[in-house]
Amino acid sequence: MKKIIYVLAVVLLVVSSCKEKKTTNKKLNQVQNEVKEHNHGDHEHGSKSEVKMTDIKQNKTRNIATTPILNTYFQIKNALVESNKTEAAKEAKLLLTAFNKLDTAKLNESKRKEYKEIVENAMEQAEHIIKSPIEHQREHFEVLSEDITDLITLLGTEKTIYLDFCPMANNNKGAYWLSEIKEIKNPYFGEKMPTCGSIKKQIN
C-alpha cells in the first residue's frame, strides 16, 4: 500500500510540473508570434534583392572568410559524386560549424539581412543532408548550391570556382552546382551519369 502511495505522489508531481511547463511554453509562443509579426514587413523587403542563378553578378571581393564554407560544401559535393551518403552527412555537419564561425560583424545592415536568410536556409538544407537518404541529400544539395552561390555573390571569395549546370538533374528541370575543379563531376546522379553538365561560369 505504501508503494502505491509513493507512486501516486510521483505521478502527481509529474502532472503538476507538466502543467507549469505548458504555461511557460504558451507565453513563449505568444512572444515569438509577436516578434514574427513584427518582422513580417521587412522580410518581404529583403527578398527583393535576391539574385537569380542565371544572372549572377561577379563579386570582386577576394573574401577569405567564405573559404571554410566553400571547402566543406565541395566535400559534400564530392561525397555525392561518389554516392557516399555517410560522408555527405559528416561534411554537412561540418558545414553547420563553418556557418556558425563566419564573422558577420563587418556586414552592413541590408547585406546582413540577406546573409541571414541565405544562411538560415542553407543550414536547414545541411540539417536535412545530415539525416536523409541519398536521394533526399541530393535534393537538398540542389537548394544548398543555390544558397552558397548567392552567398558568394554577396560576400565574394578568394578561390577560383566554377558554376556547373546539368539540364537533366532535378527531373529534367536542370540544376546547378559549384565546383573547385574544371572537370565536370556531377553530384546529382552518382555513377549513373558522372559527366553530365557544363561550366556556365567561372568565378575568379
Partner 1 sequence: MITKNKLKKGVLILFAAFLLMQFIPKKYNESGQIEKTDIFKIYKAPQTVQNKIKTSCYDCHSNHTKYPWYNKIQPIALFLENHINEGKEELNFSEFGNYSKRKKKSKLKSIRSQIEKNEMPLKTYTFIHKEAILSKNDKTEILQWMDRILKDL
The C-alpha cell at 84 is 557516399
| Distance (Å, whole) CA 21 – CA 194 | 52
- Selection from 75, 93, 87, 80 nearest residue 142 by Cα: 80
Indicate whether 27 belongs to the interface with partner 1 (CB under 8 A): no
Binds partner 1 (CB under 8 A): choice among 30, 47, 198, 202: 47
Indicate whether 120 belongs to the interface with partner 1 (CB under 8 A): yes
Binds partner 1 (CB under 8 A): choice among 59, 72, 75, 125: 125
Indicate whether 164 belongs to the interface with partner 1 (CB under 8 A): no
Binds partner 1 (CB under 8 A): choice among 61, 63, 84, 121: 121
Indicate the SS3 state at residue 74: helix
Binding mask 126-155 for partner 1 (x = CB under 8 A): -------------x---x---x--------
Indicate the SS3 state at residue 92: helix
| Distance (Å, whole) CA 26 – CA 20 | 10
Helices 67-81, 85-101: crossing angle, 10 deg rounding: 170
Indicate whether 24 belongs to the interface with partner 1 (CB under 8 A): no
Sign of CA pseudo-dihedral 58, 63, 65, 71: positive
| Distance (Å, whole) CA 20 – CA 180 | 53
Distance (Å) of CA 92 to CA 54, 89, 132? 26, 5, 11
Smallest gap from Cβ 62 to partner 1, in A, equals 25
Indicate the SS3 state at residue 30: helix
> Given the rule CB under 8 A, which of 55-63, 77-85, 112-120, 151-159 is the region that contacts partner 1?
112-120
Smallest gap from Cβ 109 to partner 1, in A, equals 16
- Which of residues 17 and 198 has its CB atom nearest to partner 1 in the complex? 17
Indicate whether 18 belongs to the interface with partner 1 (CB under 8 A): yes
- Which of residues 80 and 159 has its CB atom nearest to partner 1 in the complex? 80
Interacting residues with partner 1 (CB under 8 A): 3-4, 7-8, 11-12, 15, 18-19, 22, 25-26, 36, 39-40, 43-44, 46-47, 50, 117-118, 120-121, 124-125, 139, 143, 147
